[in-house]
Structure 1
Amino acid sequence: MDISVVVPLFNEVESLPELTTWISRVMDENRFTYEILLVDDGSKDGSWEMICKLHGHNPHVKGIKFRRNYGKSAALNTGFEAAQGNVVITMDADLQDSPDEIPELYRRISEENYDLISGWKAKRYDPLTKTIPTRLFNAATRSMSGINNLHDFNCGLKAYRKAVVKNIEVYGEMHRYIPVIAKWAGFTKIGEQVVEHRARKYGKTKFGMSRFINGFLDLLSIFFVGKFGKRPMHFFGSMGVLSFFIGLVMTIWIIAEKLIHIAHNEKYRDATDSTMFYLALVAIVVGSQLFLTGFVAELVSRNSPERNNYQIEDKV
């Protein structure tokens, strides 16, 4: 099979007939073999009934229904597991992504051997309350991930080589950072394509300000897990040793200063009267706790059943 189109959706019943018809037309015009995987993330507006109806008229349309709303990441991960195409393309169900982009995305994956192509909606029709946080997130993600050639990490329109989606796990709200997850998994040939952004035709946006906070926390989480997931002691241990060393130096300074005053018969104050004493105490305690945290995390990591689960590209 050439292409699997994975569409996560939540309460998008009005747009599904038009979307699937549009995708099928593009596929037929280009003579692709394909499937359309509609993952219903616990919709309450009749989306599942519409998916069943569409499946009856078009066998290329397949559906997966969640019992309740789990989020876009869960829907994408489930769609990735079910996808059978050599190239997997994701898009949103709200008709803001154009299926006309599919042939070029497929060509770049299959002919230019990219692992992942991420869409870039250079001209957007979203309100400022959505575009400004998005730009901030993109800048922070570029800085922390080192993927400097992407402008829009959270664009729903992306294309993947099949091996990518079968070797990554998307959970929580990590769908915003799939290119980062792919990079940590060893898929480093990541490109970008300017795509059309269409104004929303049906329904209303699911974007909320809570995603601003959650997205930042997810970015920190994925950065830590990707870099130190198999060696937590390198992070906590180094931070702990640094903090402990700073506290130790401050303690030695306080003691040396007091001894010098005593040797010269000069007036001195008790160590506990010094602000530096408490700073040193905090630094030593925090350093010890960080070191112990790293030690415990290392024990957990060493006993994990996935401790030696590495990505293998090929064998001969």
Structure 2
Amino acid sequence: MAGTETFQAGHVLEGDLPAPDVSVVVTLLNESGSVEELYRRTVAALDPGLRTFELIFVDDGSTDGTFAVLERLHAGDPRVRVVRFKRNFGQHPAMHAGFSRARGEVVVTMDGDLQNQPEDIPRLVEAVEAGNDVASGRRRARTDPVGRSLPSKVINGMLRRFTGVEISDFGCAFNAYRRGAVEPMLGSIGKQKFTKALVLSGGASVVEVDVAHAPRQGASRYSPLRLTRLALHVLAGFWPQPIQWIGVLLGTVSSLLAFGLGIYGVIFWIGESNFPGPLFGGVAVLFVLGIQGFILALIGEYLGRIQRDVEGRPLYVVDREL
């Protein structure tokens, strides 16, 4: 089964169970040691309230027995739904799989490593029920090392600039969404690596909610190389046609410099009766750079069109659903 682009009920038919008030989507990759505790704490946080809920666990190609634990949880609780990918496709395609199967009016997303505290879920849900489209988790007393938090600040600044949304923590995956705010963007979720930024770029209203952030057990999956790739993804995904902008800038600056130096060279030649060969050589180089810049911008336009046409492959392939 390939990734879909519309909300659907997966294997749970409307006649089987009534739609819950809240859907909690949890993305997992090799979290066999934490998933049972996560389940218990999430149920404890939501059970005392009046809201009905479902838990959708998306196993993003785990190899450590995570799916076996999920099978046991599903067998003991019909509110637990499970999606297993054939291989690791990434966190945001996994979010798409959860969103497309969620039936609740409010959808909560969180990671499965217990850095997100399930006890904060009711506060996120209440923020959406108060009238906001998105309750954006804001990690207080963040415990990540400097090598992770500093690049995160840079990426957050880029996303604020490109989306025009002034929130402080785009990278926090612990959020709650109104279903109606997600639906228009579902076709693009998974293709972009910042789901929250994508939803907010469509004009959704947002409020920030402080959430706890526990230290991660084990090494972070976000290496410096991966963080650099994320920064480049932000440029490509949220800065319209970056190659075009860079090409236009290069072409414009080089052309203006070539024009200015050329005029200066002509004046110098006439006034001093001395042909400034090196200066005109520099003008020629700048002129060629200007032409190359505009050609780069044109290539960027073609690449953008090709990218939109070829991104028809599935986001993920589902192995099993429970």
User: Same fold by TM-score, threshold 0.5 exceeded?
Assistant: yes
**Aligned-pair CA distance for 1:291:** 4.9
Per-residue CA distance 1:252-293 (angstroms, 9 max, x = gap)? 5267447x62xx792324478532222223223322x03533
Contact 1:42 1:69 in 2 (8 A): yes
Tell me, what secondary structure is at the counterpart of 1:31?
coil
Q: Distance in 2 between matches of 1:210 and 1:244?
A: 32
Q: Distance in 1 between matches of 2:301 and 2:112?
A: 46
1:292 lines up with 2:298 in the alignment: yes
User: Percent identity of the aligned residues?
Assistant: 27
Per-residue CA distance 1:18-40 (angstroms, 9 max, x = gap)? 11122122222012111101000
**Structure 2 residue aligned with 1:166, among 154, 178, 183?**
183
Amino acid at match of 1:130: R
Amino acid at match of 2:156: N
**Structure 1 residue aligned with 2:213, among 197, 201, 206?**
197
Q: Distance in 1 between matches of 2:304 and 2:29?
A: 39
**Structure 2 residue aligned with 1:219, among 234, 252, 263?**
234
**Structure 1 residue aligned with 2:284, among 277, 293, 314?**
277
Per-residue CA distance 1:38-70 (angstroms, 9 max, x = gap)? 000110110001111100001111110011111
Evaluate the alpha carbon distance shift between residue 194 and residue 47 of structure 1 in structure 2; reply closer, same or farther with a 3 A threshold. Answer: same
**Aligned-pair CA distance for 1:203:** 5.0
- 2:38 counterpart residue number: 19
Q: Which residues of structure 1 form unaligned runs of 5+?
A: 307-316
1:125 lines up with 2:125 in the alignment: no
- The correspondence of residues 229-308 of structure 1 with structure 2, limited to 5 A, is 235=245, 239=249, 242-243=252-253, 245-246=255-256, 249-250=259-260, 253=263, 256-257=266-267, 261=270, 266-270=273-277, 274-287=281-294, 289-293=295-299, 296=302
Q: Distance in 1 between matches of 2:247 and 2:145?
A: 44
- 1:105 counterpart residue number: 124
Q: Distance in 1 between matches of 2:224 and 2:304?
A: 36
**Structure 2 residue aligned with 1:141, among 145, 159, 162?**
159
Contact 1:240 1:291 in 2 (8 A): no
Evaluate the alpha carbon distance shift between residue 274 and residue 228 of structure 1 in structure 2; reply closer, same or farther with a 3 A threshold. Answer: closer
> Higher relative CO (CA 8 A, sep ≥ 6), structure 1 or 2?
2
Q: Distance in 1 between matches of 2:85 and 2:309?
A: 33
CA RMSD of aligned residues (A): 3.1
- Length-normalised TM-score, structure 2: 0.78
**Aligned-pair CA distance for 1:14:** 1.4
**Structure 1 residue aligned with 2:196, among 179, 191, 195?**
179
**Aligned-pair CA distance for 1:135:** 2.7
Q: Which residues of structure 2 form unaligned runs of 5+?
A: 1-19, 313-322
Contact 1:54 1:61 in 2 (8 A): yes
- The correspondence of residues 6-155 of structure 1 with structure 2, limited to 5 A, is 6-111=25-130, 113-148=131-166, 150-155=167-172
Q: Which moved more, 1:39-48 or 1:76-85?
A: 76-85
Q: Distance in 2 between matches of 1:286 and 1:42?
A: 43
Q: Distance in 2 between matches of 1:152 and 1:238?
A: 32
- 1:312 counterpart residue number: none
- Length-normalised TM-score, structure 1: 0.80
